[in-house]
């Protein structure tokens, strides 16, 4: 009854925690869209914000139109006469000195439309060009972000391959250990070995079970990371690679010059152009400005009647000779920002060049590590085979056999880890090179 209940609970748990396994290849990962990636979406929002701020510069060529409705009441001699004049209600008796000097209270209802039209404002022209360049910089940075995410996708896929390979290696090691344990159990039952030999095998089985559980967690972690990069729901789903982890392409590179068309380098160089436009904009504030203006007004002493009307149009040419050194201070600040950005570019370029060379050395180191770990793995397999034959002939202790088996599994895991490191190093080098 207890066994039946245990089986039923196991089946129930398996059904509850069952996951939908999605098999995916490396080429499919490369073709996956990153449009949903949160980091890429954040970069897109920065572009949209920059474009929205750029719309402000439309004021340099679009008119500023305002409408108003003003109600005023006065008994001021000058304003009262002006109100009547605007309302087209001046009569001969209004020129009576007594009325002019002591007018009655008068109300003026006046709707008005005003237009201001910029014509020539070079500082705004240069400011708009700086904003356009800034938007281009953000777009280039977004492209570089996508390239980095592509690298992370490749790296994540290699991690997934490694996690599954480790699991397979540990399961094979467990099968080997269980087979050896079965033999030792028979020997113990016949009094040929001591209890300690059996216990060593049980400890080894427990150790492998713990490693297998850890490997399964790593599979889930690697799968979740891919789902995170793609911004897809990972609940009840897990990725499984269609290809096993294998030794990747061989890189033979003698040219370590940075690609000047690399997106991040392009963005840095482009940012200098934005500073140059801002410096020009600040200098242009001392140049003449030409603007047009106009207005159309209606006036009456009644709310719904407008007998008086008139318009005003004109051009204004203005210079700002001195603004309290505000523009001069802006120029100094922009030039300082320009020089700081240029120094940062030089530093970043040097660091990128060093990083590229370092990445290639990592490939060489990883390649050598693959060779050495493969050799060590083959040697450990041969050592295990010899000890197994000697153990079957009663010439080796079970502890020695267990040590040989453990070493063989360890060397295989090191070999798989070295392949992962090599493939990752190659992907990172290509990312830096492109």
Q: CA–CA separation, 337 vs 273, rounded Å?
A: 12
Residue 18's pLDDT is 56
**Among 156, 109, 165, CA closest to 304:** 109
Q: Give the residue carrying structure tokens 């060593």.
A: 200
Residue 166's pLDDT is 95
Positions of the chain with pLDDT lower than 50, given as ranges: 1-17
SS3 (DSSP) at 312: strand
The structure tokens listed for 88 are: 């087209």
Question: Architecture of 35-61+121-287+326-433 per CATH?
Answer: Up-down Bundle (1.20)
Residue 4's pLDDT is 47
Residue 251's pLDDT is 73
What strands, in cross-sheet order, belong to the sheet with 64-74? 64-74, 106-120, 289-299, 308-318
CB 231 within 8 A of CB 37: yes
Q: CA–CA separation, 331 vs 284, rounded Å?
A: 10
CA torsion through residues 18, 20, 25, 28, sign: negative
Q: Which helix (H) or strand (E) holds 315?
A: strand 308-318
SS3 (DSSP) at 62: coil
The structure tokens listed for 117 are: 């039209």
The structure tokens listed for 190 are: 């016949």
Q: Give the residue carrying structure tokens 């008068």.
A: 106
Q: CA–CA separation, 328 vs 316, rounded Å?
A: 24
CB 118 within 8 A of CB 60: yes
Residue 322's pLDDT is 80
Whole-number Cα distances in Å, 339 to 238, 271, 333, 336: 50, 12, 10, 5
Q: Which residues 6+ apart lie within 8 Å of 349 measured at CB?
A: 258, 265, 268
Which stretches of 95-240 are DSSP H helices? 97-101, 122-189, 195-230
Q: CA–CA separation, 389 vs 377, rounded Å?
A: 18
CB 304 within 8 A of CB 293: no
CB 114 within 8 A of CB 66: yes
**Among 215, 225, 223, 216, CA closest to 152:** 225
Query: Based on the number of CB atoms within 10 Å of its own CB, is 85 exposed (0-12), middle (13-18) or buried (19 or more)?
Result: middle
């Amino acid at each position: 009854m207890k066994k039946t209940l245990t089986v039923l609970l196991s089946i129930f748990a398996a059904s509850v925690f069952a996951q939908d396994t999605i098999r995916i290849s490396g080429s499919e990962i490369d073709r996956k869209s990153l449009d949903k990636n949160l980091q890429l979406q954040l970069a897109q929002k920065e572009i949209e914000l920059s474009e929205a701020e750029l719309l402000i510069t439309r004021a340099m060529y679009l008119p500023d139109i305002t409408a108003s409705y003003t109600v005023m009441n006065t008994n001021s001699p000058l304003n009262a006469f002006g109100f009547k004049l605007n309302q087209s209600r001046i009569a001969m008796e209004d020129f009576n000195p007594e009325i002019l000097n002591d007018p009655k209270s008068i109300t003026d209802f006046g709707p008005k439309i005003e237009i201001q039209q910029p014509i020539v404002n070079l500082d705004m022209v240069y400011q708009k060009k700086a904003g356009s360049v800034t938007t281009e910089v953000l777009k280039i940075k977004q492209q570089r972000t996508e390239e980095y995410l592509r690298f992370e996708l490749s790296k994540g896929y290699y991690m997934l391959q490694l996690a599954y390979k480790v699991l397979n290696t540990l399961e094979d090691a467990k099968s080997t250990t269980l087979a050896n344990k079965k033999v030792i159990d028979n020997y113990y039952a016949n009094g040929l070995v001591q209890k300690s030999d059996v216990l060593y095998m049980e400890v080894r089985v427990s150790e492998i079970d713990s490693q297998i559980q850890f490997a399964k967690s790593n599979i889930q972690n690697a799968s979740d990371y891919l789902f995170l990069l793609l911004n897809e729901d990972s609940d009840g789903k897990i990725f499984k690679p269609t290809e096993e982890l294998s030794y990747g392409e061989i890189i033979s590179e003698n040219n370590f010059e940075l690609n000047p068309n690399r997106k991040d380098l392009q963005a840095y160089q482009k940012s200098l152009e934005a500073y140059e436009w801002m410096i020009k904009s600040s200098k242009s504030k001392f140049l003449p400005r030409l603007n047009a203006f106009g207005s159309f007004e209606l006036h009456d002493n009644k709310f719904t009647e407008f007998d008086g009307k008139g318009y005003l149009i004109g051009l204004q040419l203005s210079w700002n000779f001195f603004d309290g050194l505000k523009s001069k201070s802006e120029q100094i600040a922009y030039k300082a920002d320009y020089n700081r950005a240029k120094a940062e570019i030089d530093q970043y370029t040097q660091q990128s060049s060093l990083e590229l060379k370092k990445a290639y050395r990592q490939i060489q180191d990883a390649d050598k590590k693959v060779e050495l770990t493969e050799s060590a793995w083959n040697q450990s397999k041969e050592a295990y085979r010899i000890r197994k034959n000697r153990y079957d002939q009663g010439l080796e202790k079970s502890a020695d056999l267990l040590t040989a088996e453990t070493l063989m599994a360890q060397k295989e895991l090191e070999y798989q880890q070295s392949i992962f490191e090599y493939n990752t190093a190659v992907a990172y080098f290509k990312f830096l090179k492109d």
